[in-house]
Structure 1
Amino acid sequence: MSTAPPPPEPYGQPVPRADGYPAPAAQNAYGAPAPQYSPASRPVVSKKLGIIAFVASLIAVVVGAILAYVAGLQSAGLAQYADGTGQIDPDNIPPAAGEAAAAFAGLSLAAFVIYGLFGLWGFIQGIVAAVKNRGRGWGIAAIVLAVLGGVVVVSALGIGASVGIGSTL
């Protein structure tokens, strides 16, 4: 009949050695002394990664919205050439309106490319910052701003078009 082994000693208590020498200090799996951290002596972690992600997302939204607003203003010059269905006949457009159409196309493309690139950068770097706890709050704010910033950019385009069309009436 076998007996149950004795219960293990509480964690961190030295186990007496049979040869009389003192027990070794706490060690990690490789035999090296385990680091002893107290809450006050933890290494300081930089928040720069999260802050940079937030700034990238903020640049994406602000610059994208400004360019989209100006593009919307440029689209107002084309509204007078639209028929009842909202279609524009390219043969009836004068050269000045063609320049407004080119400006609208270029500015709206630039707005969404800048928003896309900087927003993606802020989104990805915000995830990394949140996961690595290197500016977690800033990283989460960057993720939210990058995701919801598309609504701001599209709204700025619509507001710019509304203001531009309203000023031509």
Structure 2
Amino acid sequence: MWQSKPGTRIFVAGRGAVRFDVPQNWHFEPDTKSFRFFDKKPPKEDCCLEVSFNLLPPGNWGEFPLVPLLKKVVDDDSRNPIERGEIIQLKRQTARVVWTQFKFIDPPEQREAYSRICIGLGSNVQCLITFDYWVDDAERLNPVWDTVMESLVLGLFISDPRTGFARPD
């Protein structure tokens, strides 16, 4: 049986294609191509955590260049980053994960904000996770990102989402 950290709940998409923990009281909104979590129900939210995923054909994805892809995603971002963080690389048993953050000025609010972007690849699953929040809220919200990154699992498919038992290979 799956267990989440105290104060969090488990999010699972695609019967186990993507799994991570999110704060228990956050508002959830599915979209046509992604899933979004907010600290408060919009329009009163201060942040947005969003995830999407793709199932990939079988292949050797171990050599796929995640770091250059993430750099390109940031370079192509229309919000014009004013400050960029380093790229963090995480290795899991069955997945590789890269993420970074950048600072930008939110045009409608004229306020500094952070965007964190994660690309994960493993077990023929690719995920994109983004987290946008105000710079003023970094101390409160950085632990949320840490929890998502620590609990992220890709491609552990399950037959019954209520139990969390993995499907046999």
Identify whether the pair has TM-score above 0.5, normalized to the shorter chain: no
Higher relative contact order (CA 8 A, sep 6+): 1
* Bigger share in helix: 1
TM-score w.r.t. the length of structure 2 is 0.24
Bigger radius of gyration: 1
TM-score w.r.t. the length of structure 1 is 0.24
